[in-house]
């Protein structure tokens, strides 16, 4: 899973996770891997783009159902 987002300085950053489960696990920590309010630019899983628009928190909610 690869997530490209805009950070607090409005600069694009990319983080890669082994899979969705790792993303969920790391977001559940006291200090999450990525701040929930950052806007997502692009998400891909196994090299395939996922249609998604929202924040990191929205992405977490989308997959943590």
CATH class, 2-63 region: alpha beta
Per-domain residue ranges for the chain? 2-63
Given this model, what pLDDT does residue 65 score? 84
- For each of the chain's 65 residues, which pLDDT tens digit applies? 999 999 989 899 999 999 999 999 999 999 999 999 999 999 999 999 999 999 999 999 999 98
Residue pair 43/3 in contact by the 8 Å Cβ criterion: yes
**pLDDT value at residue 45:** 97
Upper half-sphere CA count for residue 64 (Cβ side, 13 Å) = 14
């Amino acid at each position: 899973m690869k997530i490209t987002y805009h950070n607090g300085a409005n600069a694009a950053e990319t983080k890669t996770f082994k899979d969705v489960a790792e993303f969920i696990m790391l977001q559940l920590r006291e200090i999450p891997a990525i701040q929930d309010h950052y806007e997502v630019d692009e998400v891909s899983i196994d090299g395939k783009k996922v249609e998604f628009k929202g924040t990191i928190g929205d992405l977490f909610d989308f997959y943590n159902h």
